[in-house]
């Protein structure tokens, strides 16, 4: 499926928004104003956006502890996200969730998840809902390379095949789970092959290339919408920062990130081929400037926003009790 | 005596026992860290909380085992290794992840000895970092020890300071039953006097942190320091308290608590967990049934509310029992 100029510009805008959001958080976290601990998605933008570009609000995604990119790609309100990360009353989850629990069900975003492997079974459930509604919608489970070693993920992969539901398992292989390299932790070294062994089509794609991810996702969507059951994609990517903010990254070669910022930056790579897709660099420059302003405004608004009232502590445990 | 953090105290215990007993192994995610990394640094973390630092270089990869993210398999492997004669220490990282591995804990390791008619032991230690106060959100902040304390076959240890943590860990490592060792994250950096050498603290023996005559206060983990503040504050008004830290909740030293209530007639129990089916509720029930005649006022429990742990600073502060709330409860039972 080839994308229109507007769609391509939107995709670039989302990737740039994620990048700027995360680069800015990296700076703001140093001030100590942001509570808790934060996992940045910078470096992986092409995966979230390549996967979500053709999704609608009726399609579902489940996310991970590294969820900011998935949220933005799925259309979550950016100022609302920023406020949530600052723990503010009118954050997307009223300050109760924080960075690792941003959710926006109206956008089909069923939540970031701080339990590694917690998401894929949820995605299978949402895929059952999609199948039963027969509306051509799909459910996407994002997970890292580390998550593929969790029993819950194995169970979800098999269940999706058994039930033949439109679930798409996206494994973002960024080379590390916390401080452990993927070649150590994933015994077979091939996550897509592992998914395939459960009985679904699975493919690798270049996670720093929006077009590569988008093409893989187009095949996945066609397969799911034709009633073919689940599909898996392993996207090879990298993270530009530590596992969480404050990680000294002793496990990583000294100049690894610097090199990867040169060769694996999805924004640079998008720009490099923009002309072939009829996109003028000036249009991208204009987006860059816009996004900078938006993120600036989101940070200022979040800083100025009021915290939740103490009474909110006791609400929302149940619908009724 | 050396001043050491609770982090270093537990690390000390692991070093000592691994050197003494070759059967002790450590396994978990990033217990050394760096496996498969690109820097060649083979101990890149020593545990996310630094508790297992220095073990890999000293004891090698056969005994210090980095695992994939697979909590069921980590805990299950610890249980199996224990059945086969090793003495494993499994690091679960955040206590909340017990959810992923619960079967291996409560259907497997907890029950072997009983189901097999007393013919086996399962000497595994599971280390769980727990507690709110760092804005880590609903899935990284819980104190789920009441759930595990309710399971027959498990021992549950909850140290409140560095000295106890080391002594209790050495006991845990030498105990023949499965031990759930809860470490409050906020206590890791807190320093106390810790001897360098080997010493143990028996399970089921409470510590009397303060002595007094008017009110008995029982508190666990981080709540002990909060209760100390409250107890010292009311002392200025002439209200004196016994402050009891049970240190282990399974087994529980109920006798020390009952004896104290016999003298004071008044009880406040402080617990960071939500109130229903909590250790606070459990201790209150024990005293209400076995110490009823000593009581001169209704028992007060000071706990977190019946909610998940919230993220925002203001909400989390309201969630965690504070010295102020403990002080209020002491004054309340004293008045009645
Ligand atoms: C059940 C569970 N185990 C462990 C953790 C701690 N943890 C958080 S993120 C992470 C690594 C995840 O690696 P991966 O799936 O590759 O995702 P990435 O961080 O690379 O995005 C670990 C071990 C957790 N949050 N939940
Ligand atoms: Mg990873």
Count of C-beta atoms within a 10 Å radius of residue B58: 11
Percent of chain B surpassing pLDDT 70: 100
Q: What is the CATH number of domain B207-335?
A: 3.40.50.920
Nearest ligand to the C-alpha of residue A179? Answer: 1
Cβ atoms of B240 and B161 closer than 8 Å: no
SS (H, E, C) B96-111: HHHHHHHHHHHHHHCC
Cβ atoms of A301 and A79 closer than 8 Å: yes
The answer to whether residue A320 sits within a structural domain is no
pLDDT digits (tens, 9 = 90+) for B236-265: 999 999 999 999 999 999 999 999 999 999
The closest-lying atom of ligand 1 relative to the alpha carbon of residue A143 is 15
Chunk chain A into consecutive blocks of 10 residues (it has 321) and report each block's average pLDDT, rounded to whole numbers.
92 98 98 96 98 98 98 98 98 98 97 98 98 96 98 98 98 98 97 98 98 98 97 98 96 96 98 97 98 98 98 97 93
Q: Which whole number is the average pLDDT over B210-225?
A: 98
Nearest ligand to the C-alpha of residue B136? Answer: 1
**For chain B, domain boundaries:** 3-193, 207-335
Residues in chain A: 321
Predicted ipTM? 0.96
Give chain A's domain count: 1
Q: Return the SS3 of B223.
A: helix
Q: Determine whether the interchain pair B69/A147 forms a contact, defined as Cβ–Cβ distance below 8 Å.
A: yes
Q: Identify the domain containing residue A278 by its residue range.
A: 5-312
Tell me the CA distances in angstroms from B85 to A152, B75, B124, one per residue in order.
29, 15, 10
Instruction: For B3-193, give the CATH class.
Output: alpha beta
Alpha-carbon distance of B99 to A165, in angstroms, equals 26
Please work out whether the CB of residue B69 comes within 6 Å of at least one atom of ligand 1.
yes
Q: Determine whether the interchain pair A178/B48 forms a contact, defined as Cβ–Cβ distance below 8 Å.
A: yes
Mutate to test the interface with A, among B30, B52, B67, B69 (most CBs of A within 10 A): B69
The answer to whether residue A238 sits within a structural domain is yes
Domains B3-193 and B207-335 share a fold: yes
**A171 contact B CB<8A:** no
Alpha-carbon distance of B43 to A179, in angstroms, equals 9
The whole-chain average pLDDT of chain B stands at: 98
Sign of CA dihedral A157, A162, A163, A168: positive
| Cβ neighbours for A300, distance < 8 A, ≥ 6 positions apart | none
Alpha-carbon distance of A170 to A51, in angstroms, equals 8
Tell me what pLDDT residue B1 has. 79
The answer to whether residue A317 sits within a structural domain is no
| Cβ neighbours for B279, distance < 8 A, ≥ 6 positions apart | B145, B146, B149, B220, B249, B269, B271, B273
Q: Interface of chain B against chain A, CB under 8 Å?
A: 29-30, 33-41, 44-45, 48, 66, 68-73, 96-97, 99-100, 134-140, 305-308, 310-316, 318-319
Chain A hits for B137, Cβ within 8 Å: 36, 97-101, 114
pLDDT digits (tens, 9 = 90+) for A305-315: 999 999 999 99
Read off the pLDDT band of B309 (50, 70, 90). very high
List the CATH number of the domain containing A40.
3.40.50.970
Rounding to the nearest 10 degrees, give the CA dihedral for residues B173, A116, A318, B316: 70
Query: In this structure, what token pair is assigned to residue B293?
Result: 């005649």
Query: In this structure, what token pair is assigned to residue A113?
Result: 């998840």
Alpha-carbon distance of A272 to B201, in angstroms, equals 66
Please work out whether the CB of residue A146 comes within 6 Å of at least one atom of ligand 1.
yes
């Amino acid at each position: 499926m080839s994308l229109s100029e507007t769609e391509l510009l939107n995709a670039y805008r989302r990737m740039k928004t994620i990048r700027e959001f995360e680069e800015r958080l990296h700076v703001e976290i140093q001030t100590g104003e942001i509570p808790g601990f934060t996992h940045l998605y910078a470096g992986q933008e092409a995966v979230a956006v390549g996967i979500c570009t053709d999704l609608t609000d009726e399609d579902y995604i489940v996310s991970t502890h590294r969820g900011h990119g998935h949220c933005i790609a799925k259309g979550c309100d950016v100022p609302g996200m920023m406020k949530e990360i600052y723990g503010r009353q009118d954050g997307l989850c009223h300050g109760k969730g924080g960075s690792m629990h941003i959710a926006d069900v109206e956008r089909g975003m069923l939540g970031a998840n701080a339990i590694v492997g917690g998401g894929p079974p949820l995605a299978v459930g949402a895929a059952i809902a999609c199948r039963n509604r027969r509306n051509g919608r799909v459910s996407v489970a994002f997970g890292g390379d580390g998550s593929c070693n969790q029993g819950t993920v194995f169970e979800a992969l098999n269940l999706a095949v058994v039930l033949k539901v439109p679930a798409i398992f996206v494994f973002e292989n960024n080379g590390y789970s916390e401080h452990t390299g993927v070649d150590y932790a994933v015994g077979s070294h091939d996550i897509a092959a592992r998914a395939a062994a459960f009985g679904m089509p699975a493919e690798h794609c270049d996670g720093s290339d929006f077009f590569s991810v988008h093409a893989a996702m187009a095949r996945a969507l066609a397969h799911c919408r034709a009633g073919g059951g689940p599909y898996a994609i392993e996207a090879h990517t990298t993270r530009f920062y530590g596992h969480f903010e404050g990680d000294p990254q002793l496990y990583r070669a000294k100049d690894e990130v610097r090199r990867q910022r040169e060769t694996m930056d999805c924004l640079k790579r998008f720009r490099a081929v923009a002309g072939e897709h009829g996109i003028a660099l000036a249009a991208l420059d204009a987006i860059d400037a816009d996004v900078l302003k938006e993120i600036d405004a989101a940070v200022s608004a979040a800083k100025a926003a009021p915290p939740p009232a103490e009474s909110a502590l006791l609400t929302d445990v149940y619908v009724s009790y | 005596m050396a001043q050491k953090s609770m982090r270093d105290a537990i690390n000390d215990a692991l070093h000592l026992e691994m050197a003494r007993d070759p059967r002790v192994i450590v396994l978990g995610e990033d217990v050394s860290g760096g496996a498969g990394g690109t820097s060649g640094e083979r101990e890149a973390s020593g545990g996310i909380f630094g508790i297992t630092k220095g073990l890999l270089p000293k004891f090698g990869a056969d005994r210090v085992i980095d695992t994939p993210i697979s909590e069921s398999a980590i805990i299950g492997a610890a249980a199996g290794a224990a059945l086969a004669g090793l003495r494993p220490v499994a690091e679960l990282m955040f206590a909340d992840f017990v959810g992923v591995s619960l079967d291996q804990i409560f259907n497997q390791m907890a029950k072997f000895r009983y189901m097999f008619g007393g013919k086996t032991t399962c000497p595994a230690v599971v280390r769980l970092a727990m507690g709110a106060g760092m804005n880590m959100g609903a899935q990284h902040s819980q104190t789920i020890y009441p759930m595990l304390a309710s399971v027959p076959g498990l021992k549950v240890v909850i140290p409140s300071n560095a000295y106890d943590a080391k002594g209790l860990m050495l006991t845990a490592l030498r105990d023949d039953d499965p031990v759930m060792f809860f470490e409050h994250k906020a206590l890791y950096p807190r320093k106390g006097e810790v001897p360098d050498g080997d010493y143990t603290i028996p399970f089921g023996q409470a510590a009397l942190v303060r002595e007094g005559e008017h009110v008995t206060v029982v508190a666990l983990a981080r709540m002990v320091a909060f209760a100390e503040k409250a107890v010292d504050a009311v002392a200025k008004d002439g209200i004196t308290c016994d402050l009891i830290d049970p240190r282990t909740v399974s087994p529980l030293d109920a006798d020390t608590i009952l004896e104290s209530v016999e003298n004071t007639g008044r009880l406040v129990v402080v617990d960071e967990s939500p109130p229903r089916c909590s250790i606070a509720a459990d201790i209150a029930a024990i005293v209400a049934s076995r110490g009823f005649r000593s009581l001169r006022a209704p028992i007060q429990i000071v706990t977190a509310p019946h909610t998940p742990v919230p993220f925002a600073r203001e909400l989390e502060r309201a969630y965690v029992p504070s010295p102020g709330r403990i002080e209020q409860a002491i004054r309340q039972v004293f008045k009645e």
